[in-house]
């Protein structure tokens, strides 16, 4: 089903529309999951089946940006590729300024990382938290991207087709070395399946959900929540917002300033001018 004429046309249309490689992959993956749920090719689905998929998505522990991605994939498919805009006319996009997911404390992150039953996923999500990566970026990493000499990680498959450098902490480096000696992933990948294929983001997400439940922290943890926690921790350590922007790979500082909304401890630490008045 993943190689159906509809999927081929969708991919062609996305390329013609000038969509980024990462966006195309996300849209195709989303439509494949939709087709798997309904058990048929998207071009033969009814609006009722699309509604069921949307309701399913709304019940999942995913943030507004990822939900927008799923909705946008449906909208592009039915409006552009299939020419049936009426089937998705009921969809309303989540607001871009929707509240951020709950941020984890360092202690909560530690409990989650220690709750994985498969060590590979513990190291994988430690990497995402340690460097603030998107899950797609972490899945695409190769061993050559780990520059131990300079203490950086080269992110070559960033969102929008860009590249950037992020820090490689000594603790993470030791974790990666131990993991590599034990796991021996299929070259050139840093993380691979037993069959030598790139790690599946959805499989990794399920492992994270299981670990968050087993940790007992009472929060449903998503990969992007770890990225949010990374950014907030840096902000609370008084790292310059511009530096955080570069580390996260944000093209605009506006995308980064949203993290100032969740750093309550930094706001509380600011000394009020009232304190300087004479008693």
Active-site residue numbers?
Answer: 134, 159, 224, 227, 250, 259
Residue indicated by tokens 């069959």: 195
- Cβ-based neighbour number of residue 66 at 10 Å: 20
* Residue 261, both tokens: 């909304």
CA 143/CA 69 separation, integer angstroms = 29
- Cβ-based neighbour number of residue 60 at 10 Å: 13
CA 279/CA 274 separation, integer angstroms = 10
With H, G, I as helix, E, B as strand and everything else as coil, classify residue 116.
coil
**Category of 83 on φ-ψ map: left (φ > 0), alpha (ψ -120 to 50) or beta:** left
CA 187/CA 184 separation, integer angstroms = 8
Alpha-helical runs (H) found in the chain: 5-16, 21-38, 47-58, 64-76, 106-113, 119-131, 135-139, 170-183, 201-215, 223-236, 241-248, 253-257, 264-269
Q: At what angle do helices 201-215 and 21-38 cross, to 10 degrees?
A: 70
Q: Dihedral angle at the C-alpha atoms of 101, 102, 106, 112, nearest 10 degrees? A: -80
């Amino acid at each position: 089903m993943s190689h159906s004429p509809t999927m081929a046309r969708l991919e062609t249309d996305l390329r013609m529309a000038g969509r980024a490689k990462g966006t195309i992959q996300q849209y195709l993956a989303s439509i494949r999951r939709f087709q798997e749920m309904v058990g048929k090719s998207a071009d033969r689905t009814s609006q009722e089946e699309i509604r069921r998929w949307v309701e399913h998505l709304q019940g999942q522990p995913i943030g507004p940006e990822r939900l927008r991605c799923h909705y946008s994939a449906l909208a592009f498919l039915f409006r552009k590729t299939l020419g049936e805009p009426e089937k998705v006319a009921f969809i309303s996009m989540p607001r871009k300024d929707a509240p951020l997911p709950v941020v984890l404390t360092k202690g909560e992150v530690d409990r989650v990382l220690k709750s994985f039953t498969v060590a590979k996923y513990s190291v994988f999500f430690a990497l995402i938290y340690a460097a603030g990566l998107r899950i797609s970026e972490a899945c695409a990493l190769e061993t050559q991207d780990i520059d131990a000499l300079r203490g950086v990680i080269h992110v070559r498959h960033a969102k929008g087709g860009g590249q950037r450098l992020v820090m490689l902490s000594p603790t993470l480096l030791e974790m990666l070395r131990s993991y590599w000696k034990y796991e021996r992933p299929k070259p050139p990948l840093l993380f691979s399946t037993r069959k030598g294929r790139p790690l599946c983001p959805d499989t990794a997400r399920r492992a994270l959900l299981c670990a968050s439940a087993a940790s007992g922290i009472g929060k449903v943890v998503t990969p992007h929540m770890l990225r949010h926690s990374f950014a907030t921790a840096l902000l609370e350590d008084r790292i310059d917002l511009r530096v955080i922007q570069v580390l996260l790979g944000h093209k605009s500082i506006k995308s980064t300033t949203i993290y100032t909304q969740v750093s309550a401890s930094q706001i509380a630490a600011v000394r009020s001018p009232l304190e300087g008045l004479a008693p």
